[in-house]
Amino acid sequence: MSNNILEIKNLRKSFGGLKAVDITSLNFERNKIISLIGPNGAGKTTFFDLITGFTKQDSGTTTFDGKNISNLESFKISRLGMVRTFQLTKVFDRMTVNENILFSASSLKNDRFINSLFKSSIKSKIEQELNERKNEVLNMVNLYHMKDSYARELSGGQKKLLELARVIIQKPKILLLDEPLAGVNPKLSEDILSLINTFVKEGISILMVEHNISAVMKVSDHIVVLAEGSVIAEGSSDEIRANEKVVSAYLGKSNE
């Protein structure tokens, strides 16, 4: 098994005349926190959309955990163990916190129409087991007291936590987080970062897009800098700090 969880070759996408993403080669190591930074419009979210199958790529190969996943449908990619979150939190507003997580945890077999008709109700044995796992996860993100509330009643930060709980219950191999700290207060940012650290310890690789540079510098094992759709630099936080191209493209004149 290769040490890279994700290998990207010649990934290209343009919208009309605009070259959104043009990456010749990019590899992500297993079991690390890797951050993707770059100015607005650098193609970070498009990059996420491309590798998770939400947008069709023009060309290129993406290999995830030894499998070629280019042009695979998004839900199939997710089932292989590459799960993403969104820049704007997408919780199921008019479902309870419980239902949000149970839906994610439930297996495809359990979800089947025929199964639901004859065997599994929310009182079935499978659902009881899911329920236990769900409670563990809810305790981990500190949302247990909200379990019966509708998701739309949660605060912005709590929605972020719910989204994290919802993906982590699937025990993915790699987690793609799109701005997990956007609009979150400093205290909660700390909590989310420590959660991310826990995930890595459990063997989950993390790839995140984030604008909070000090947080990125603190937690990342590896940083990739995108500008105008291409990789302009990658390396450890010290290397990135010292890189002049990055400083001028993104960080501005001040270094911190």
- Contact string (CB under 8 A) for other proteins, positions 164-193, x = contact: --xx--x-----------------------
| 121 touches other proteins by CB under 8 A | yes
- Distance of CA 236 to CAs 147, 227, 239, Å? 39, 18, 5
For other proteins, the binding residue among 103, 213, 230, 241 (CB under 8 A) is 103
Sole window of 38-46, 87-95, 136-144, 220-228 interacting with other proteins (rule: CB under 8 A): 87-95
**What is the closest distance, in whole angstroms, from the C-beta atom of residue 138 to other proteins in the complex?**
17
| Strand spans (E) along the chain | 4-15, 18-29, 33-37, 59-64, 67-68, 82-84, 174-178, 205-209, 222-227, 230-235
Nearer to other proteins, 196 or 225 (CB): 196
Are 92 and 100 contacting, i.e. CB atoms less than 8 angstroms apart? yes
Count, residues near other proteins per rule CB under 8 A:
41
Q: Round to whole Å and give the CA distance between 196 and 174.
A: 12
User: Please, which residues bridge with residue 176 across strands?
Assistant: 84, 207
CA 222 to chain centroid: 16
How are beta strands 230-235 and 222-227 bridged, if at all? antiparallel
Nearer to other proteins, 127 or 221 (CB): 127
| 1 touches other proteins by CB under 8 A | no
Nearer to other proteins, 78 or 142 (CB): 78
Q: Round to whole Å and give the CA distance between 188 and 250.
A: 25
The site for other proteins (CB under 8 A) is made up of 52, 54, 73-76, 78-79, 83-86, 90-95, 99-100, 102-104, 106, 108, 110-113, 115-117, 120-122, 127, 150, 152, 166-167, 170
